[in-house]
Chains A and B, each alone.
Chain A
Amino acid sequence: AQSVAQPEDQVNVAEGNPLTVKCTYSVSGNPYLFWYVQYPNRGLQFLLKYITGDNLVKGSYGFEAEFNKSQTSFHLKKPSALVSDSALYFCAVRDDSNYQLIWGAGTKLIIKP
């Protein structure tokens, strides 16, 4: 069965430090991977996606993600965290059976001044 996992419920980072939010996946074919962000009481916003090509994908707000096929991971990264990056982050993978997204449980990112 296809699935996606976000092993950390919460990540705490000091402002200015690099951040990583982890995501691992399990799919039967080629993975189509996505990151979305949700601010409190709001809908989700698309950050970036990996379909094919370079393993390092750049997205919105200075975020990037590294695709690692051997480790079946797609970790979200940012070189220097901002307090405004504090939010809930979701990783998702495409379900090959119906082409819909399968979502991770989300990781709460807290950036402390």
Chain B
Amino acid sequence: DGGITQSPKYLFRKEGQNVTLSCEQNLNHDAMYWYRQDPGQGLRLIYYSQIVNDFQKGDIAEGYSVSREKKESFPLTVTSAQKNPTAFYLCASSIIGTFGSGANVLTFGAGSRLTVL
């Protein structure tokens, strides 16, 4: 079945450590996204990518980094510069096109929960 796989599901980080969250999709989608979800808040966009080797900052990119070396993969690194990284992280993908064709219809992974110890 096509879908998005995020790993690990749960991750613990010590102060000062970088951690990388994996996101893989087999939907042949061009666009991929990383969101952060905190209780009582909507999703906030961290980074997004519409093509291999290119990505754009979202609203809260500081303290995070990404790469897009393959169409299927969009890993997120939470760096030590991110002062409050404890959150639920969601990866998503979509087609690119006019909005009548399905753009902005996102398929999400099951999420990764990061906790700072």
Residue ranges of A at the interface with B (Cβ–Cβ < 8 Å): 4, 9, 32, 34, 36, 41-46, 49, 51-52, 90, 92, 94, 98-106
CA distance A96 to B105 in the complex (A): 16
The answer to whether A46 and B99 have CB atoms under 8 Å apart is no
Report B4 CB to chain A, min CB distance, Å: 8
Chain A to chain B: the 9 pairs with minimum beta-carbon distance, closest first: A43-B108, A103-B42, A103-B43, A44-B108, A105-B42, A46-B105, A43-B110, A43-B109, A104-B42
Query: Which B75-109 residues have C-beta < 8 A from chain A?
Result: 90, 92, 99-100, 103-109
Cα A49 to Cα B110 in complex, Å, equals 22
Q: A94 CA to B41 CA in the complex, in Å? A: 17
Q: What is the chain B residue whose CB lies nearest that of A90?
A: B42
Question: Across the two chains, which residue of chain B brings its CB closest to A44?
Answer: B108
Q: How far is the CA of A113 from the CA of B50 in the complex (A)?
A: 44
Q: Chain B interface residue count: which class?
A: 20 to 34
CB of B106 within 8 A of CB of A46, answer yes
Question: In the complex, what residue of chain A is closest to B56 when comparing beta carbons?
Answer: A98
Question: From residue B87, how far is it (CB to closest CB) to chain A in Å?
Answer: 13
**Which residues of A have CB within 8 Å of B92?**
43-44
Q: Which residue of chain A is the closest to B9 with respect to CB atoms?
A: A41
CB-contact partner of A32 in B42, B56, B104, under 8 A: B104
Q: Is the CB of A49 within 8 A of B105?
A: yes
In the assembled complex, the Cα of A49 lies from the Cα of B98 at a distance in Å of 14
**B58 interface residue (CB < 8 Å to A):** yes
Complex CA–CA separation, A83 to B92 (angstroms): 27
In the complex, are the beta carbons of B104 and A44 less than 8 A apart? no
